[in-house]
Structure 1
Amino acid sequence: MSHKILITGFDAFGGAALNPSWLAVRALHGRRILGHTVVAAQLPTVFGASLHELNTLLKKHQPALVVCVGQAGGRKALSLERVAINVNDAPIADNAGGQPVDTPVKPGAPAAYFTSLPIKAMLAALQADGVAAEVSQTAGTFVCNHVFYGLMHTLATQRGLKQTRGGFVHVPWLPEQGTPSMPLEDMVRGLRLALRCALQVEMDTALGAGATN
């Protein structure tokens, strides 16, 4: 396994001119965190194509850690996602015009996967540094959840990635997009702290592996 961190954001969607998830992760590209190099990449906001691109990146980089990042308008903090569900149910069309309703991300696969990131430790680290953060119990049913579920399924089933840990973080709007919002520099600082914590802490002591409470 390489000493790489893969972090992804999405392109703009829904008629927006920008996507803060991409702007934030792009700012981390090439940085070194605890001996690991950050590789940032953009995913299309498209069902299917986003997972194809993610799996290509995973195969290429064989990262030690993967954090996918998306935008969640209406949230006021960095949202550390706990669970991905095996459902595509799009409230709007994706960037290719697709709008699946109640379809599985992966037919025949488990109903849900839990993150393998230490989200409670990450939450504490972010809050201690003054970054607004929360643990979220839902990543929705749009392309963000699609990618989150697909990531965790790939990590669980691909032999070469069994030691790779991954998860998903939602970021709020930027101030110019609406309210509530978060300045870009706070998103970047928060994501950097989250990555650092995830490298330092293997799992949350209180949660343990695969805990559901």
Structure 2
Amino acid sequence: MDNRKRTVVVTGFGPFGGHTVNASWVAVQELQKLGLGGEVDLHVYEVPVEYHTVQTLVPTLWKQYHPLLVIHVGVSESASTVTLEKCGRNHGYRVRDNSGLCPDAHCCIAGGPDCIHSVIDMESVCKRVSASGLGVTVSVSKDAGRYLCDFTYYTSLYLSHGRSAFVHVPPLGKPYNGEALGLALRAIVQNILELLDEREEIHCKQHLMSH
């Protein structure tokens, strides 16, 4: 492992619909306060709930920071747990955004695969965070909901060849406050980084053995 700082970008969404305060952005701001330790260079962004903004912002984040990992956080009205999304989907975007628009052809990337899975093993992350005794319930899902969350996730997965994650949080107070969500996010990011390190070590060993 070298001594260079690893860059991690975490995004939350701005207000939309009845969510005048978006729990995802509150959680990301709490994560920023907590930090990820001296070895991680953390950048956070609030993403407007607009498809066209996502189409320009997400590629910019990857180009500007060359991050090891980008984690997008969104709020889900129906969630009662902190939910790790396994994949993003390309088609079915018919719900209009804050600008009253939805994508042409209702898809993210014309000609892209229908579904892209994250390279991160979300089941392992879920088990590790659940075992850490945070008092926040974590679960895994494979349907991010075909709105801006899913759209953002698919776009990021497509650009990064799967090196992205998406976390859905419940609305504030249902049942967790912002601080609890921030702690859960920190545990999730730290466990993802550990998993990526382990994968890298295994890959290095295999590479050395093959020579």
TM range (shorter): 0.7 to 0.9
Per-residue deviation, 1:103: 1.5
- Indicate the residue corresponding to 1:61 in structure 2: 65
Tell me: CA distance 1:101–1:51, structure 2 relative to 1, closer, same or farther (3 Å).
closer
**3-state secondary structure, aligned to 2:191:** helix
Tell me: CA distance 1:103–1:204, structure 2 relative to 1, closer, same or farther (3 Å).
farther
Matched, 1:184 2:178: yes
Q: Which among 3, 7, 26 is matched to residue 4 of structure 1?
A: 7
Q: How many residues align?
A: 193
- Indicate the residue corresponding to 1:169 in structure 2: 167
**Larger helix proportion, structure 1 or 2?**
2
- Indicate the residue corresponding to 1:161 in structure 2: none
- Indicate the residue corresponding to 1:73 in structure 2: 77
Conserved 8 A contact 1:85-1:145: yes
- Indicate the residue corresponding to 1:116 in structure 2: 119
The structure having more radius of gyration, on CA atoms, is: 2
Which moves more between the two structures, 80-89 or 135-144? 80-89
Conserved 8 A contact 1:116-1:203: no
Mapped to 1, the partners of 2:17 and 2:198 lie a distance apart of 36
**3-state secondary structure, aligned to 2:42:** strand
**3-state secondary structure, aligned to 2:196:** coil
Matched, 1:103 2:106: yes
TM-score, structure 1 normalization? 0.83
Which moves more between the two structures, 95-104 or 106-115? 95-104
Matched, 1:142 2:140: no
- Indicate the residue corresponding to 1:208 in structure 2: none
Which moves more between the two structures, 135-144 or 122-131? 122-131
Per-residue deviation, 1:28: 2.2
Mapped to 1, the partners of 2:53 and 2:40 lie a distance apart of 27
Conserved 8 A contact 1:83-1:139: yes
Please list every run of 5 or more consecutive structure 1 residues that lacks an aligned counterpart in the other structure: 157-163, 206-213
Matched, 1:196 2:190: yes
Per-residue deviation, 1:203: 8.9
Equivalent AA in structure 1 for residue 176 of structure 2:
M
Mapped to 2, the partners of 1:60 and 1:23 lie a distance apart of 24
Please list every run of 5 or more consecutive structure 2 residues that lacks an aligned counterpart in the other structure: 200-211
Per-residue deviation, 1:83: 1.4
Conserved 8 A contact 2:81-2:170: yes
Per-residue deviation, 1:29: 2.5
**3-state secondary structure, aligned to 1:32:** coil
Mapped to 2, the partners of 1:204 and 1:103 lie a distance apart of 38
Conserved 8 A contact 1:8-1:69: yes
Tell me: CA distance 1:100–1:61, structure 2 relative to 1, closer, same or farther (3 Å).
closer
- Aligned positions of 1:11-90 closer than 5 A: 11-29=14-32, 31-33=35-37, 35-90=39-94
- Indicate the residue corresponding to 1:210 in structure 2: none
**In percent, how many aligned pairs have the same letter?**
26
Which moves more between the two structures, 112-121 or 101-110? 101-110
TM-score, structure 2 normalization? 0.84
Tell me: CA distance 1:202–1:9, structure 2 relative to 1, closer, same or farther (3 Å).
same
**3-state secondary structure, aligned to 1:29:** helix
Taking only aligned residues, the RMSD between alpha carbons, in angstroms, comes to 2.2
- Indicate the residue corresponding to 1:159 in structure 2: none
